[in-house]
Amino acid sequence: MNERTIDQFLTHQRLEQNRSALTVESYRSDLGQFAEFLAGEGELDAASVTVNDVRAWLVQRSSLGDSARTLRRKVQSLRAFYKWLMRRGMAEQNPAADIELARLPKQLPHLLRPQSLDTLLDAPVDEMNFDEVRNHVMLLMFYSAGLRRAELMGLLDAAVDTRACQLRVHGKRDKDRIVPFGPELAAWVERYRQIRQEQVGNTELFFVRRDGKPLYPALVYRVVHTALQQVGGGDQLSPHVLRHSFASAMLNNGADITSVKELLGHESLAATQVYTHITLSELKTHYKLAHPRALKKGG
């Protein structure tokens, strides 16, 4: 299992399968760890790896503290790698195919209530301060359009149309989608463009720093984290919380689940259906709080 073969697989995943940079890096890390394990066992030939070799590696990784979620990903990385090897005639079987994936505890996405978000987004903004205006537009866009962090960072200025009130979002697997937005965001976009032109100049990317350079992940996280702390967002204060809150708000206000799937850019309806569980959970909570006999004990 040599480095050259792994690099060829990664190139195939990136260029022909349109895998994201994050997915490719995960493959690289997982396969590199497996290759190190095989070297330690005196086994370098990927074609001769057995299911017992894979199981032994997973036991080792578990003992080193890898979570169930991480172990699942590692198995999936091996499955993809061996599937590719088999198509190229470099392996006769997939030793990871019959490995049972570790079960994950079911967790509902964390979200914020509309009242908390209203408090945050209705707070006064210094319209002469570039950073304040940009950060406000970032927060409003996350919640109004349900974008992923990478999608927001890569948003082109030409893709934000305030006349049609819509965004052209470049999502996972190089797929584009159109996401509409309301007049409030349109007005803030125009204000941001005005102050950006005055203080930064022309830019290809929609969101930039004061020096005109692109945003970076830690900056976006810090902006959202700091803002959500002000409204008691709990422990989970990432940009994805605003995406979850967008999806939940849409469904709670009558949006069709298929429409929400398209707005979020999900590959399958199953990924969107988790938000229906949130809606049901909220209904149960409201029922218990509102109905006079909801908490009455039987007998």
Domain containing 74 equals: 3-87
Distance CA 297, CA 294 (A): 9
Does residue 167 sit in the same domain as residue 129? yes
Active site residues: 148, 172, 240, 243, 266, 275
pLDDT at 265: 92
Does residue 144 sit in the same domain as residue 259? yes
What rounded mean pLDDT belongs to the chain?
A: 87
In a domain, 78, yes or no: yes
In a domain, 264, yes or no: yes
Residue after which a domain boundary falls, among 52, 87, 122: 87
- Span of 124-133, 245-254, 272-281 with lowest mean pLDDT: 272-281
Q: Of 223, 221, 203, which Cα lies nearest the Cα of 212?
A: 203
Confidence of residue 299 (pLDDT cuts 50, 70, 90): very low
Confidence of residue 145 (pLDDT cuts 50, 70, 90): very high
Does residue 189 sit in the same domain as residue 56? no
Does residue 73 sit in the same domain as residue 132? no
Does residue 32 sit in the same domain as residue 172? no
Identify the CATH number of the domain in which residue 256 sits. 1.10.443.10
Domain count, the chain: 2
**Residues forming a β-bridge with 166:** 161, 180
Confidence of residue 278 (pLDDT cuts 50, 70, 90): low
Distance CA 180, CA 164 (A): 8
Q: Is the pLDDT of residue 154 over 80?
A: yes
Does residue 64 sit in the same domain as residue 144? no
In a domain, 67, yes or no: yes
Does residue 141 sit in the same domain as residue 25? no
